[in-house]
Each structure stands twice: as structure tokens, then as C-alpha cells.
Chains A and B, each alone.
Chain A
Amino acid sequence: MTRPTVLELRGVSKNFGPVAAVADVDLELKQGEFISFLGPSGSGKTTTLMMVAGLQAPSSGSILLNGRDLAPLPPYKRNIGVVFQHYALFPHMSVLANIAFPLEMRKLGRMQARRRAEAVLRLVGLPDLGDRLPSQLSGGQQQRVALARALAYEPPLLLMDEPLGALDKNLRAQMQIEIARLHRELGITVLYVTHDQEEALVMSDRIAVFNHGRVEQIGQPQSLYERPVTRFVAGFLGDSTFLPGKVQALQKEEAVVLTAHGPLRGHASPGVRPGEAAVVAVRPERVVLLTPGDTARENALRGRISDVIYLGQSRKFVVRLEDGSELLGLQPIGTASPAVTEGSEVLLGWSATDCNVLADSD
């Protein structure tokens, strides 16, 4: 089953004077898909979103909604739902009037608009608050109203720019579930901006990782986490230790990198060339303590544990390697293996398929 494409970005760029805020972004959103933009501050996420909404004009490239070029359409003719970070509710209108606003703009009668607004308000779980002013609502409630207002006219595409950025942690988790539920129930297509990686991993069908205005990698959360293709993605999404070296051999999926700790094997990402610089990226949870003589893992290193941090469900530990660099490890609590202790000399290892060899661009 192939779903129709709702939104397509073709080579979209945006320059502010000499600053390339967005550079050559290609993207395709399928009907009902939930895509997150994830990236550090200033990486161009908001700018990209604003170009889709029509609040910024691309310097080059084109944006298509349901196959139609959006360039000639001003924002008020695009029929796209937008939820702003600070809600942007109209402070002089009641909650119901806020939600009815886009309906009235679409020439719905007053009564009809009100009824529809009430229905949407029920949908987001605030049936009794319609007569209040936005200033009389909590942050989470305002967020729901903003969501209701953007959903009221059933837009084919919903844009959200860090909608949960101003909420505290518990409320965030609750709203994440709520948004995920609405996405499922309504089958809407969502473009979601966040710089919270956990949020992106939990909610998205696919994640686009932004860096310096470019999409570094786009893919499903699991593939992005387990098979990052650039050093930036590996470092930005979750923790990684990078062990630099030079590619010695490359066969199919596997590369051998000669590092300060001897040859290490890992899954080769595209762009890795024999004889060139590369890094081995290891996730802490893939690092296991080995007993002498254990040869099941292709990679093994020696080191001394310099730090152990208790995290409740697990222990994080820092291993000082022989050349003085550090390696991060994570040990679930309650496993059979002996607990890590500070100062002990250990042998560590991981399988070749559990780490990635990435071209070293830096």
C-alpha cells in the first residue's frame, strides 16, 4: 500500500543575507505520517516550517502540497494548521471564539462554527472551558486549545513548532501521548519540530536530523539511532563514544579501523573509504564487561573504570583507556555480570554489528 504524498520539499533553501539558514532540503511526507525535525538551535527547523506555512519565502526550491506548488499562495490561503511554540492564542477572545476563528474565516455560520468548536474542544479534553479567556488557562490547557484551533478546520497538514517547549516535564509526557493519540485517531499528517530527542524518538514515524540548515539524515527512529550515517547524528541522538582511526579494510557491510587501541570492527556506513580517516561510534549500552578468554565479541579493549554514576535503572560508567581517552558504558542493574566498581581494571568489548564506522569529516 503506498500512501499519497501530502507535502514535498524540493531543494528548498533560505538565506538571510549571508546566512544560509536552510540549505537544499528535500523531503516527502506521506498521508498520515508523523515526521519530526530534530536538531540543535539555529539549525533551520523553524525556518523550514515557516516556509511551508508561507510566513517565509524560500530563496530557492519549491514546496508542494498535494502536488500543488505553494509559492503563489499567501499563508491565509494555504489551509495548513500551525501550532506555535507559545500558543499564540488571541488573548481578547474566549477559548471557543479562538477555535471558531478559523471556521468563521472559512465562512461558516456563527452557530455552526460554535458547534464545531465545541466538538473540537471535547476532542482535546477540555469540554467545559469554552467561555474562559486564554489567560485563565494553565500552560497545558492553552496548548490543547492551540491544538484544537489548528485542528478545527481539518487541515491536510499540521505544523507544530516545539509545541511542548514551554511545559514542564510531566505535562510534556502527557501531551506527547495526547498528540500521538490525536494523530492516530484523526489520521492527520504532522510535521513536528523539537529539539528534545526523546520526544522525537517516541512520537515520530520518521525523524529528519537538521544541522547547519541541512538534513543530515532522515529515517525511522530505530534506524537513526542504531545506524547513524554521520558523526553528527551519532553524537546528537543519544550518547556515543568516538574512537578515531584509519580504515584498514572494507568488505561489504563491515569495516576494520586501525585505532590507538588496535584494529576495531564495525558496521560501515556509506561514505567510508579504505585508507581514509574514520571513527568507530559505540553506544554505551552496547559495551559489555568481558571475562578473560571471552572471544564472542569482535572488539575488545582494556581500561580502568574511573567513574560510576548510579541512574536507578542502570549504572553509567566511564572507562579510561590506555591512551588516556574515555569510553562510556552502561550497565543495567540486576544483570548477572559483576557490578562495575570504580578503580577496577576491566576488559570491555562489543560486537562488530553493534557499532558503526563513520567517515570522519572533522
Chain B
Amino acid sequence: MKRQASRLLLLPGAAFVATVFALPVGALLLRSVSDPTWGLQNFRALWEEPVYASLIRNTVQISLATTVCCILLAYPFAHVMATRPRLTRLLTLVVLVPFWSSILVRSFAWMVLLQNNGIVNQSLLRLGLIDQPLELIFNRTGVLIGMVHVLLPFVVFPLYGAIRAMDPALMPAAACLGAGPIRAFLRVQLPLTLAGLVMGAVLVFVMALGYFITPALLGGRRDAVIARMIQLQVSQLGDWGMAATLSLVLLVATLILLGASQLLVRSPARRPAG
């Protein structure tokens, strides 16, 4: 009885989500098979026209690369954050800075920094480290720099939580038992923080799938992504059917990833209930 009553508490939230999210998204997705006429013509186009394959490939490549870069940068960062209490606040600020500015401001700031006669290239030239400016922007590198910058916190915070949750005596114990730093990390810390890592990585990957402003502003012609195409088709081409089809692709990919990550995280690291 009590449990049923408490379920009623979910009603307002559920109603809200249904009206502002599920309904419109459902209506949009329906258009993938109903716009311009009922049928699978949009999916056929997706399959047959090479532009879509290259869009999907770009999106997945950029998202994967962003995720990998985020993990590699975030792990040491989160580790220091979790194990040096004095630095925690400062590092939290550092990693949150991108949230304080709009995506446009941020992207333009990167342009200023990364362009051929920008600060980064100028400094490197002056120092004599390079002979000619590095191509840092309007290509894949630019996209990655911009995306990693924004998405880093989504790996850092789950990881920080996971590392903090570890008993601080475990790594010293592993060392005393004869495990060098690398083996201790691989056998003890990594398995115990894997859940946080996977959660952060999935979050970043999923969000990267939907990013389009950063690739548009910091990328080159070969960095077009699905989300950008959806926006184009809706706002300029008026092709709602194709936009809906591409949205469905993103949504399904996201759901599959979330489901897979749940399975991955559930099995080894979590303690059995009870």
C-alpha cells in the first residue's frame, strides 16, 4: 500500500517529462516514416547516400576521440583532486570555468588562441620550438580541443567521486603486498573506479554525439557531424523527414550505449546487495 502511494509522488514529474519531452520527440521521430510521405524512403536515403555515412563516421570518430582524450586527461586530474584535499577547490574551479561562458564566447576565444597568428602559435614560434605555425584550428584538432575543454568535467566529477569513495588504505596496502605502482593501479584502483570512469565516458560520448556548434566553429569542412546536419535540414532545407531519421539514429545509438554501460558497470565492481 505504502509503496503504491509513494509512486504517486512520481506523477507530476512523469507528466512533465511526457508533455515537454516524450510527446514532441515522439512526434518528431514519427516524421522519419511519415514525411514527406509514409514509407521508409528516409531510411533508404540514409543507407544509400554517401554523405550520411560520412556524417555518421565523422560524428563517431569525433565523439570517440573526445571521449578518449577526456579519459586520459581526466583520470590524473581527478586523482590529484581526490587525493590532495588542499587542491580540490582550485581544481574544481579550473575544470568548471568553461561552464561560466557561453559556447560561442568559448569557441571564439579558442579561435583567438589557436589561429595561425594566435597566442599559442606566436609563443611557440618565438621560443623557436616550431618553424611555421601549427594548424590548430578549422580541423579535427580544433574540434577536439574545443570539445574536450567543455566535456572534461563530465568525466572528472564521476571519477573524483569514485576515487574519493575508495578506502585510502587500499593503495598503500597493495604496495606493501608487493604491487608496484602500475600493477597496483591496474589491479586495485582501476577496477574500483571503473564504474565512475564508464559513467563519465558514456556521458561524454553521448553528449559529444549531439554537439554541433563547436565542430561548426572550430572544425573544417571535413568535420561535419550529424547534429549539424539535423539543424541544417530543419532550419534551412525544411527536410523534417530526414532530420527526424538522423535524430532517431542518434537516439538509438545513445540508448544502446547507456544500456551497455549499465551492464558493464553492474557486474564486477558493485557490491552484492545485502
Residues of chain A at the chain B interface (Cβ within 8 Å): 53-55, 74-82, 84, 86, 88, 90-92, 101-102, 105-106, 133, 135-136, 149-150, 153
Contact = CB atoms under 8 A, between A and B. Distances in A.
A101 B172 CA distance: 14
B271 interface: yes
A84 B269 CA distance: 22
B95 to A, nearest CB: 27
A92 B176 CA distance: 18
A91 B167 CA distance: 9
Contacts, number: 70
Given A88-B167, A90-B188, A92-B192, A136 B175 contact: no
Given A88-B167, A91-B192, A102 B178 contact: yes
A76 B271 contact: no
B169 A91 contact: no
Nearest to B179: A105
Contact of A88 (B172, B191, B269): B172
B188 A75 contact: no
B170 interface: yes
Given A88-B169, A92-B192, A92-B269, A102 B175 contact: no
Nearest to A53: B176
Contacts of B192: 90-92
Contacts of B184: 76
Task: Name the 4 nearest CB pairs between A and B, nearest first.
Answer: A105-B178, A88-B173, A102-B177, A88-B169
Interface residues of B, number: 22
A106 B176 contact: no
Given A92-B269, A101-B187, A86 B167 contact: yes
B244 to A, nearest CB: 44
A76 B175 contact: yes
B74 to A, nearest CB: 21
A153 B178 contact: yes
Contacts of A149: 177
A301 B206 CA distance: 85
Nearest to B183: A105
B272 interface: yes
Nearest to B173: A88
B180 interface: yes
Interface in B173-203: 173-180, 183-184, 187-188, 191-192
A82 B187 CA distance: 19
Contact of B169 (A75, A86, A133, A153): A86
Interface of B: 167, 169-170, 172-180, 183-184, 187-188, 191-192, 268-269, 271-272
B176 A75 contact: yes
A92 B195 CA distance: 12
10 contacts: A55-B172, A78-B176, A79-B178, A84-B173, A88-B170, A90-B174, A92-B269, A101-B174, A105-B177, A106-B178
A149 B176 CA distance: 11
Nearest to B184: A76
Given A55-B172, A77-B178, A88-B170, 15 more contacts: A54-B175, A76-B177, A76-B179, A82-B173, A82-B176, A84-B169, A88-B173, A90-B170, A90-B174, A90-B188, A90-B192, A101-B177, A101-B179, A135-B271, A153-B178
A76 B176 contact: yes
A86 B168 CA distance: 10
A119 B188 CA distance: 24
Most chain A Cβ neighbours within 10 Å, of B169, B177, B184, B272: B177
Contacts of B191: 92
A86 B268 CA distance: 23
A327 B269 CA distance: 59
A54 B175 CA distance: 9
Contacts of A105: 177-179, 183
B172 A74 contact: no
Contacts of A81: 176
A149 B174 CA distance: 11
B272 A136 contact: yes
B176 A55 contact: yes
A105 B174 CA distance: 10
